[in-house]
Structure 1
Amino acid sequence: MSKFAPVWSSLEDQVAAGWAPGIVAGVRHKGETEYFATGTLAFGSSEPMRTGTRFRIASLSKPVGAVVALSMMEDGLFGLDDPVAEWLPEIAEPRVLVSPDAEVDQTVPADRPITVRHLLTMTLGLGAFFTEVPVAKEFAGVGNGPMPQAFSADEYMARLAAVPLAYQPGTRWMYHTGIDVLSVLIGRVAGAPLHAVLQERVTDPLALTATSFQADGADLPTSYRPTADGVEVFKEYDEGFAEPPQLESFGGGLVSTVEDYLTFLSALADDRLISRESREELTRDQLTAEQRAGTTEMAGPTWSWGLGVAVDTAVTEPWTAVGRYGWTGGAGTSAYTDPSRDLIGVVLSQRFMAGPTENFGYFWGPLATVV
């Protein structure tokens, strides 16, 4: 019997309870790898989930983009503390609100340039807002959610440049936007579409045949979002992935499988994509106490951020550990590497998270008991 049987049983229980129609997961522990799939592609469907089923992985795209950026740095194409103005002239001279709740015309010049580090650490000064402030309404037209954007990278930058920063660059973590902007930078530096850069630096070297920015929507599981009465089909999200995206972004645009993503995280942990030094930089806590106020606002004080990945800073659950790194995706995905346990886990569902504190305990909890 598999030592991971309790984990797989827990996934089956989630599906049997109607939490989601199907779940797929994979684990690598001390060199031993297993995959498991249960349920179907949709409620009422007879089409089974498989370990090779492709999912919209949402923000699990972010660590992939970070690895691409670090690999480009190793090739000398740009540096972590380089100002982005050379490639992103639209934000070469940003304006900053006098306070985050100020009217959008109450601004001062930025006191420092936006750098590549600010994008990877998501401290450029704009991102998800959790309070109703005037700039949040302006920012809504830029796009900062799970839906693929219906405009080009150039238009994205033009829209972004028209919105003042809520904070001075480098002073506060704000979710998501930095990786969207990083994606535009990567494409411009490479002089190539982002899918070509991804293929050259990640998917071809690792033979990841199912990871891309686009898939046939008919082959993907149906997406659901929680409601007061259970779940409902998230039709708009499904339709957003039915055509090639106008704005390819590592913010949340990738489609992948458990098999591909576990291979990616394994290659990162084994230093087969970037150097050990780059991997250690990517996965260490990069935030100051001042910057970390943004992570606390989003999901509590026990975690921080590296270069495109979350980093545990305290033990709060049986499965957490200081230095454990990874992230979750709002579409119902989670993946972490725990060096202290020599453990990598990936779980993909098609049920959207109910909020930023959802912890995927149905997977990580049983896993912690068997490793």
Structure 2
Amino acid sequence: MTLHEAMTARVERGEFPGIVTLVARGDDVRVDAIGTTAFGGDVPMRRDTVFRMASMTKPVLAVAAMILVEDGLIDLEEPVHRLLPELAGQRVLARIDGPLDETVPAVRPVTIDDLLTFRMGFGMLNSPALDPPFPIVAASDALPLALSEPDPRTPLDPDEWIRRFATLPLMCQPGERWLYNTGTLVLGVLLARAAGRPLGDVLRERLFDPLGMTGTGFWLPAERAAQLPAHYMTVSETGELTDLTATTPPEVWSHPPVFPSGSAGLVSTADDFHAFARMLLRRGVHGGTRLLSEQSVELMTTNRLTPEQIATAGLQEGYGWGFGMAVTVAPDPPTAAPGRYGWFGGYGTHWFNDPHEGLIGIALTQVSDFMWSGATEEFRELAYG
């Protein structure tokens, strides 16, 4: 079965209304747009359809961080409190499920490296359940910081957001454990302060414009925002695939957000994200211009976690973590060698680079179930074909 046939069959079964896939090796770039942007709708998926990228924002932010490292504006090993003085002296919970007033001192400051590897000591918990009702989870929800799902958005601007976050203790010691999501929220605030510019401007000037990513950003012109596909997910209460678009309707994307989320805030297109992925696959070079050093790309795309941290991270089996993205650490079909890297987005987006095969794969839907239905594995396997 071809990739087109497999994805068409899933659309016809009603798993998602439509999908855009891009598979590239060298100059051979194949894009396929199947179905429509909404169930029952008549707007076809197109090559230039814009998607909410959700957590595929994270690797983009990591590249921006490495550009600022190479500029000398930040250092991976420096404490974050140089630029985020609000976080100086943060204490650590004595136990992760304990009361907020039972704390111990941090053994060392949180560094920028900790933010990029999600080892800052704070993030989404996946045991015994996703974000269990521990006091620290309830306290962060009450602030409201929007530390887990991107929607509904936090109403706080970056300065107020970091001030409130600083009132919380860390969940565990810096460097100890991989905890998802919060690190890149904090990193987004830090990069804006380091550059002296709003985060959206930093990404535009240092990354999107050089790569020609004209359809990527934290917001869209009103007419483009209105074209965003509907967002669906199976909700646990009913077990049915449900339209969740109203949680953050398209018009919300028609103006700059109060808090530009470095974890999940970008919209993009297949070709734009291909430009980003190809730059990494070419080890930092785009169109003959070097945007990032080979050493930075190597740091980003090499596993940084210990075996013990991988075991407790809740990542897919055989995966570790680099800077802002997952990296395979064991042979993983359909490729025999470790080292494939990339990430997912919770709205139903997926990207991988395989440096051994010179292969890029991008699949874009707006159905969250795409991530756990077996569709991503099928996409990846057939992309190699």
TM range (shorter): over 0.9
Q: Secondary structure at the match of 1:171?
A: coil
From 271, 294, 297, the counterpart of 1:279: 297
**Equivalent runs, 1:327-338 vs 2, <5 Å:** 327-338=343-354
Q: Give how far 1:356 is off.
A: 6.8
Structure 1 residues 55 and 319, CA, compared in 2 at 3 Å: closer, same or farther?
Answer: farther
TM-score by length of 1: 0.93
1:21-60 map, 5 Å: 21-60=17-56
* 3-state SS, counterpart of residue 154 of structure 1: helix
Determine if contact 2:344/2:371 at 8 Å carries over to the other structure: no
Deviation at 1:353, TM superposition (A): 3.6
Task: Count residues in correspondence.
Answer: 363
Query: What does the per-residue CA deviation read over 1:171-228, in whole Å, with 9 as the maximum and x for residues that have no partner?
Result: 1010011001000000001110111101111111011110010123312111111135
- Identity level (%): 39
Q: What is the CA–CA distance in structure 2 between the aligned matches of 1:6 and 1:357, rounded to whole Å?
A: 18
CA contact (8 A) 1:57 1:253 kept: yes
Q: Which residue of 1 aligns with 2:167?
A: 162
**Which runs of structure 2 are paired with 1:167-246 in the superposition (5 Å)?**
167-215=172-220, 216=222, 217-227=225-235, 228-234=238-244, 235-238=246-249, 240-246=252-258
Bigger CA drift: 347-356 or 194-203?
347-356
Aligned pairs (5 A) from 1:285-304: 285-295=303-313, 298-304=314-320
Structure 2: give runs of 5+ residues left out of the alignment: 286-290
The partner residue of 1:142 within 126, 145, 148 is 145
User: What is the 5 A alignment of 1:311-350?
Assistant: 311-318=327-334, 321-350=337-366
Partner-residue secondary structure (3-state), 1:90: helix
Output the aligned Cα RMSD. 1.8
Match of 2:107 among 101, 105, 111: 111
Normalization by structure 2: what TM-score? 0.90
Tell me the SS of whatever aligns to 2:226.
helix
1:92 aligned to 84, 88, 91, which one? 88
User: How far is the alpha carbon of 1:288 from its aligned partner?
Assistant: 1.7
- SS for the counterpart of 2:309 is coil
The answer to whether the 8 Å contact 1:149/1:245 transfers is no
Deviates more, 1:351-360 or 1:8-17: 351-360
Please state whether the residue corresponding to 2:37 is helix, strand or coil. Answer: coil
Kindly state the Cα deviation for residue 105 of structure 1 after the two structures are TM-superposed.
1.0
SS of 2:61's partner is helix
Code of the aligned partner of 1:231? L
1:276 counterpart letter in structure 2: E
Unpaired runs of 5+ residues, structure 1, are none
